[in-house]
C-alpha cells in the first residue's frame, strides 16, 4: 500500500493554476509593491474591522491581489468568512 | 517648411525578445513603402543592427563618434545596398553606454529629423542608462514582448517608465507567438498579454525558423516572401505608416492541421 501511496502523493499546489492566473498574480504584486508582511498586517486589520462592525470572523481570511487590465491597477479580493456576533 | 518626422523607440523589458529583428524588418518595411528611414542603434557596447542588415563591413564612424565630433553625422550613416532610403547609424562597439547622455542622443535624433520620415531607435534591453538614452528623443514607443510571464512582467515595468517619461503613445508587438502552444494552454494568448498590459496592439509575429537564418545572413526576414513573420512585419510597417491592415490569421486551417489537432499532435507553425 505504501508503494502505491508513493504515486498518489499530492504534489505541491502551484500558487496559481494557469499561466494567466500566475501572470495576474505577478503583475499585481509588482504594481502595488505588496509583500507578504504587508498582506498579513492587512488581514489583521480586516479582522479588527469586522469586529468593529459586529462580525465574528469564523475562518481563514484570504486576501488575493489580482491585476486588472485597462488601467493597469491591482485589485485586492478579500474573502472573510463571518457570522453576526451574538448579542448577550 | 519643417520636415515632418517621427522618432520611435523600439524597446523591451528583457533581452532576447526580438527587438533588433523587429527594428531591422520594420525599418526595411517602411523603406519599401518609399519612406526615408534611419535606424539608430543605441545599444552602446553591443551593436547588433549592422549584422541584421548585412552592413557590418561598411561601418566607419558610429553614434559615439558623432556625439564626440570625431565623425560627422553624414559620414556615419550607412546606406542599405538595395534600399538607399534606409540608413543605419550604428552603435559603438568598444565604448561604454555611460559615455553617452540622453541629451546628446536627442540632439543627434533631432538632426536626423531634417532628412528622414521615420527614425527607429533600437533600445538596449533593461531599464538602466541605455534605456534612458533611447527614449530621450522619442515621440512614441513600441514595446516588443514575448508571450511569456518574465517578458510580460518586465514589459509592465517598462510601460510605467515610459509613462513617467511622458511618452503618450505606446504600442505593443507580441513576438514569437506559437498558436499550437497557445491552443494547448502552454503559452499566454496575445489577447491575454494585451489585456494585462493594456496598451494598443500594433502587431502579432509568429515564431519562425526563417528569422534565425535571416539574422545569420544579414537579410531581414521581411525580404523572405514565404515567411509569415516577414508578412507580419510588413503589416506592422504599414500600420505605423497609417494604413488599416487586418491582423494575420496565424492558425492553420488546412486539412493536415485539422487532422493533427484531432490526434492532439502538437503543431509548430513551421
Q: Which residues lie across from B174 on neighbouring strands?
A: B145, B204
Residue with cell 508587438: B173
Helices A19-32 + B149-164 axis angle, to 10: 30
What pLDDT, on the 0 to 100 scale, is given for residue B267? 41
Please check the confidence at residue A10 and state whether its pLDDT lies above 80: no
Please check the confidence at residue A25 and state whether its pLDDT lies above 50: yes
A23/B197 CB distance under 8 A: no
What pLDDT, on the 0 to 100 scale, is given for residue A14? 56
What pLDDT, on the 0 to 100 scale, is given for residue A69? 76
B156/A72 CB distance under 8 A: yes
State the average pLDDT over residues A34-45. 89
C-alpha cell read off for B148: 511569456
- Find the closest chain A residue to B192 by CA distance: A20
Interchain CB contact of A88 with B (< 8 Å): no
What pLDDT, on the 0 to 100 scale, is given for residue B194? 93
Please give the mean pLDDT across all residues of chain A.
Answer: 82
Interchain CB contact of B159 with A (< 8 Å): yes
Interchain CB contact of A14 with B (< 8 Å): no
What pLDDT, on the 0 to 100 scale, is given for residue B269? 43
Long-range contacts of B24-27 (CB under 8 A, 24+ apart): B24/B49, B24/B52, B24/B53, B24/B220, B25/B220, B25/B221, B25/B222, B25/B230, B25/B233, B25/B237, B26/B120, B26/B222, B26/B233, B26/B236, B26/B237, B26/B240, B27/B86, B27/B118, B27/B120
B149/A70 CB distance under 8 A: no
Chain mean position to CA A60:
9
In angstroms, the CA B67 to CA B88 distance is 15
Residues of chain B with pLDDT under 70: 1-3, 95-97, 129, 251-270
How near does any CA of chain A get to the CA of B197, in Å? 6
Please check the confidence at residue A59 and state whether its pLDDT lies above 70: yes
Interchain CB contact of B198 with A (< 8 Å): yes
What pLDDT, on the 0 to 100 scale, is given for residue A68? 82
Interchain CB contact of B149 with A (< 8 Å): yes
- Find the closest chain B residue to A71 by CA distance: B198
Indicate whether this model's pTM tops 0.90: no
Cα–Cα separations (whole angstroms), residue A55 to A62, A83, B4: 16, 6, 65
What pLDDT, on the 0 to 100 scale, is given for residue B155? 94
What pLDDT, on the 0 to 100 scale, is given for residue B263? 58
In angstroms, the CA B39 to CA B76 distance is 12
Interchain CB contact of B157 with A (< 8 Å): yes
Q: Which residues lie across from B86 on neighbouring strands?
A: B37
Interchain CB contact of B170 with A (< 8 Å): no
B153/A23 CB distance under 8 A: yes
B195/A23 CB distance under 8 A: no
Interchain CB contact of B188 with A (< 8 Å): yes
B192 → closest Cβ in A20, A31, A71: A20
A27 → closest Cβ in B185, B194, B196: B196
Amino acid at each position: 500500500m505504501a508503494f502505491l501511496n508513493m504515486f498518489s502523493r499530492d504534489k505541491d499546489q502551484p500558487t496559481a493554476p494557469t499561466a494567466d492566473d500566475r501572470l495576474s498574480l505577478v503583475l499585481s504584486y509588482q504594481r502595488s509593491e505588496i509583500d507578504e508582511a504587508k498582506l498579513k498586517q492587512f488581514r489583521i486589520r480586516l479582522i479588527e474591522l469586522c469586529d468593529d462592525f459586529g462580525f465574528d470572523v469564523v475562518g481563514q481570511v484570504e486576501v488575493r491581489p489580482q491585476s486588472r487590465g485597462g488601467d493597469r491597477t491591482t485589485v485586492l479580493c478579500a474573502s472573510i468568512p463571518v457570522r453576526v456576533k451574538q448579542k448577550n | 517648411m519643417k520636415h515632418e518626422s517621427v522618432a520611435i523607440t523600439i524597446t523591451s523589458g528583457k533581452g532576447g525578445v526580438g527587438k533588433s529583428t523587429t527594428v531591422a524588418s520594420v525599418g526595411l518595411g517602411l523603406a519599401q513603402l518609399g519612406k526615408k528611414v534611419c535606424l539608430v542603434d543605441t545599444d552602446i557596447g553591443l551593436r547588433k543592427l549592422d549584422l541584421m542588415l548585412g552592413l557590418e563591413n561598411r561601418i566607419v564612424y558610429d553614434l559615439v563618434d558623432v556625439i564626440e565630433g570625431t565623425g560627422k553625422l553624414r559620414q556615419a550613416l550607412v546606406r542599405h545596398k538595395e534600399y538607399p532610403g534606409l540608413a543605419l547609424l550604428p552603435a559603438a562597439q568598444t565604448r561604454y553606454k555611460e559615455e553617452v547622455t540622453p541629451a546628446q542622443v536627442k540632439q543627434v535624433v533631432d538632426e536626423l529629423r531634417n532628412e528622414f520620415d521615420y527614425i527607429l531607435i533600437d533600445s538596449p534591453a533593461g531599464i538602466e542608462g541605455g534605456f534612458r538614452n533611447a527614449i530621450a528623443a522619442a515621440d512614441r514607443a513600441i514595446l516588443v514582448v514575448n508571450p511569456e510571464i518574465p517578458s510580460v512582467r518586465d514589459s509592465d515595468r517598462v510601460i510605467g517608465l515610459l509613462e513617467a517619461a511622458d511618452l503618450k503613445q505606446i504600442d505593443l508587438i507580441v513576438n514569437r507567438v506559437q498558436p499550437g502552444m497557445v491552443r494547448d494552454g502552454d503559452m499566454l494568448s496575445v489577447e491575454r498579454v494585451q489585456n494585462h498590459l493594456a496598451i494598443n496592439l500594433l502587431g502579432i509575429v509568429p515564431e519562425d525558423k526563417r528569422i534565425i537564418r535571416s539574422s545569420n545572413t544579414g537579410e531581414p526576414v521581411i525580404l523572405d516572401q514565404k515567411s509569415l513573420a516577414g508578412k507580419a512585419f510588413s503589416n506592422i510597417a504599414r500600420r505605423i505608416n497609417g494604413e488599416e491592415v487586418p491582423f494575420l490569421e496565424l492558425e492553420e486551417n488546412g486539412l493536415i492541421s485539422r487532422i493533427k489537432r484531432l490526434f492532439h499532435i502538437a503543431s509548430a507553425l513551421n
